[in-house]
Amino acid sequence: MLLELDGITVAFGGLVAVSNVSFTMAEGDVLGLVGPNGAGKTTLFNAVSGLVRPTQGRARLLGRDLIAMPIHARARAGIGRAFQVPQPLHELTVRENLIVASRFATGRIDNERIDEILDLLKLGHKAEAEASTALALTEQKALEVAKALATNPKLLMLDEVLAGLETAGKRAFMHTLDAVRARYGLALLIIEHDIETITRLCQRVIVLNFGKLIAEGTPEHVFNDSEVIRSYTGGEAA
């Protein structure tokens, strides 16, 4: 198994943001993670990439215990993460962003791969531009993915990278993600609100609501599940 989550629980004081969530992903899987706002999706991402420490539960990547590793070690182990709000490395150019990711996650600067990634993500013409000031939103989102790819991940976690893009931009970005997957064959874990996007990209979907995993299956199956529909349309009344 590539990723195994077993009973992951994250509590902030009395608030349980993620409650006893378990699932697995095989290599090359594309898994969608959906749920209403505040369902705990980003917190679950944080628990896997190391930004928060789960109160309970276990996480393994290719059999290795992730919970014991600090954030940077998880990146080296193969966890790539794109943030919902783009976080370019400040004061660095686009290329330098990838150089840092390549050097520190893999131990060497793989210039060939960096050029290839810039090409795939259509950032080649902005390679020498300052990342935190000179990029449009789509390019910032592309850089989030590019940075994560430069770490040579086995699992790429995308937190709403398509949110905020207009329809054409979304479609183009989905094609880019297809190309990325075709080239690197990595597994994707995708947080996304847009049901159409999820249906188009993912073979399998899990649904979180109030921190709990309430449904799992193919997009067709999950989006027809009455509990899922209720969680999206407003609880008991629906």
- Report the site for other proteins in 135-154 (rule: CB under 8 A): 147-148, 150-151
Give the neighbor-by-neighbor strand order of the sheet with 212-217: 79-82, 155-159, 187-191, 30-34, 204-209, 212-217
Taking CA 55 as the corner, what is the angle to CA 53 and CA 56, rounded to the nearest 5 degrees?
115
89 vs 163 by CB, closer to other proteins: 89
> Quick one: how far is CA 204 from the chain centroid?
15
19 vs 49 by CB, closer to other proteins: 49
Q: Whole-number minimum distance, CB 88 to other proteins, in Å?
A: 7
Is residue 64 near other proteins by the rule CB under 8 A?
A: no
Among 49, 138, 197, 231, binds other proteins (CB under 8 A): 49
List, in sequence order, the alpha helices (H) in 39-155.
41-49, 71-77, 94-106, 111-120, 137-150
CA–CA separation, 172 and 145 (whole Å): 14
Quick one: tokens of 70? 């600090």
Query: What is the x/- site pattern for other proteins, positions 72-111, by CB under 8 A?
Result: xxxxx--x-x-x---xxxxxx---xx-xxx-xxxx--x--
100 vs 179 by CB, closer to other proteins: 100
* Residues near other proteins, by CB under 8 A: 49-51, 70-76, 79, 81, 83, 87-92, 96-97, 99-101, 103-106, 109, 132, 147-148, 150-151
